[in-house]
Structure 1
């Protein structure tokens, strides 16, 4: 059973992302216990549930335990174990501190008694800094505006997710130096977030979307193939191979709109579709494992943006090595205001030549 309590009907007054992130408070057991109200998404090829769901739902749970004049300004998260989409998640909020200006909460997400995700979240009282404040912010770079009515496609060629995205070409994509490249996209929650959701719903939606192809930036700037090849073996096909089969069956116009494909991915798929599958003399490097380890969000203007309006995100990676990689992300409103900065480190391992090189987390 993927939820502890049978999910209620979809609320048409709420946006898709609000319905996705709904929590049930287990007040009869403990007022600081919550659980997911609806099944959680397990992306094809991923080890577990979409990480953005755990980030957003822990934030939602913590927001329900602070006074209304307090607003989140930062959260520091660790992915401990892969979440199972077939098992309910229990979120336990610990009220670490409730001060005059700041409040601190930790939230643990548990399945089968084990912690799968943990975060520490800090809240600040609105206008506690006084009338005189220091201000500065980086400017949004000039980029093509989003196109209304256009949406990149999810896996399988259908725009069904709770948020929309439109990718922009990678900046400096022809550079031989991965750290000089920047991956960019427009994102927004699908539909309109309800007034009843308040600023908390917009913050949770931003947290959910902030994990979209985050650590995958490293594979993109290195132009690495992230999906297993269809090989003639007796072993069971992986989820990645199933995804690749779907891609090979799609028309070129549909392929261009698939969110997770870049120009070099499209070229390789076209060659495969044309029967050009000869292995090169020196095999290309491929991603063998890519898993998020931690995720940090700094919210800069938490009550003055709408997550259901287009937001611009820019990601860059200053370093990768020793099987890990680091990515920075900046999020702006459409009119250029910086509203959040995110940092993520993850496991980024190349596919090895032998099974002996594989290891478990």
Structure 2
């Protein structure tokens, strides 16, 4: 009986691409593109970039921060080439950069910082504290036992088994209906799906299933519905209508099995959004939502088990100028803070056609 393998290990497999130059790698398998997105799921590109860099870093270093920029939409019809560059390698810290390119164009760029693994020296004097998850949310606990199965009725529409996502997410209903957008907190439990390891699989995994594999999987989780927090705290519609949604629906051939599945997925998204907005009014429909930058600060890296339930809290302290800022904290089921994330993106509402018409 083999070990259970993170789905991210299999789907984020990569290989050297020497024909593109030294320290260049390519993805082996197409990455996931959500049906509602202009390009690939950003979390997949972040996670594969981190996996590639971690493979290039000397042993003894462990990631502590990753700062990313999404430059162009990436598509799954073309390979992604990851160009890794060592910026600095010191005795205790190091910095590497990675550019993801398609057709010669940079679509994603990240700077990744590493530090010597100090787990063996925790007895030294040091300052130490962490934020705790809200007691009322924590008291309810994870949606299932650690290895218990999850019913699709529990999981969010974006993470159900037929959506193509490698993770499960169970979003918790809002309790602070009267809270302002700036003080609203949204919660979900998330974990990466696993499969039985197949030793006959010839794909190169991004790791040996150890700490680095779980850190890459955590990076995958970190982008799930992240910038969408800004629209959700305002109860702005994203899947209930709007020109972008209607355009996608018109492009689907409902006579095919895939087309029927796509339309059903849209129906699930719309129903979920309707329930989410049930206790308030919508200011309008989102016409465009694109991530610009994404930062992850990893804490207690050796504690990360991405295949176990993680509690994710998200808030949006500011929105304006057609952009939104989101903060996110991630705890293990035992209450250990393992990540703090920050994301900024374009959040543009669809405008009324009459708004810009001349009055004369």
User: Into which bin does the TM-score normalised by the smaller protein fall?
Assistant: 0.7 to 0.9
- Does the Cα contact within 8 Å between 1:76 and 1:119 map onto a contact in 2? yes
Q: In the TM superposition, what is the alpha-carbon distance from 1:303 to its structure 2 partner?
A: 1.4
Q: 1:146 pairs with 142, 145, 150, which one?
A: 142
Q: Tell me, yes or no, if structure 1 residue 181 matches structure 2 residue 184.
A: yes
Q: Please name the residue that 1:273 is paired with.
A: none
Query: What secondary structure does 2:56 align onto?
Result: coil
Q: Does 1:198 align with 2:210?
A: yes
Q: Which residue number corresponds to residue 65 of structure 2?
A: 74
User: How far 1:316 moved relative to its partner?
Assistant: 0.3
Deviations 1:131-158 (A, max 9, x none): 2211010011122222222241545964
Which structure's residues are more often helix, by fraction? 2
C-alpha distance after superposition, 1:147-172 (max 9, x if no partner): 22224154596455211111111342
Q: How does 1:1-361 map to 2 (within 5 A)?
A: 14-27=5-18, 30-127=21-118, 131-142=124-135, 143=137, 144-148=140-144, 149-150=149-150, 151=152, 152-154=155-157, 158-159=161-162, 160-175=164-179, 177-191=180-194, 196-227=208-239, 229=241, 237-239=246-248, 255=268, 261-264=272-275, 285-354=284-353
Instruction: Note the C-alpha offset of 1:24.
Output: 1.1
CA–CA distance in structure 1, aligned partners of residues 20 and 230 of structure 2: 43
| Cα distance change of structure 1 residues 259 and 30 upon mapping to structure 2, 3 Å threshold | farther
Q: Is the 8 A contact 1:193 1:201 kept in 2?
A: no
Unaligned ranges ≥5, structure 1: 1-10, 269-281
Number of equivalences: 325
Task: Tell me the residue number matched to 1:275.
Answer: none
Q: TM-score, normalised by structure 2?
A: 0.81
Instruction: Give structure 2 stretches of 5+ with no counterpart.
Output: 198-206, 255-259
C-alpha spacing 1:89/1:304, structure 2 compared with 1 (3 Å): same
Distance 1:63 1:111 in 2: 21
| TM-score, with structure 1 as normaliser | 0.80
Q: Decide whether aligned partners of structure 1 residues 297 and 259 sit closer, same or farther in structure 2, where only a CA change above 3 A counts.
A: farther
Cα deviation, 1:273-330, whole Å, max 9, x if unaligned, reads: xxxxxxxxx9951101011000000001111220100000000000000000000000
* RMSD (CA atoms): 3.3
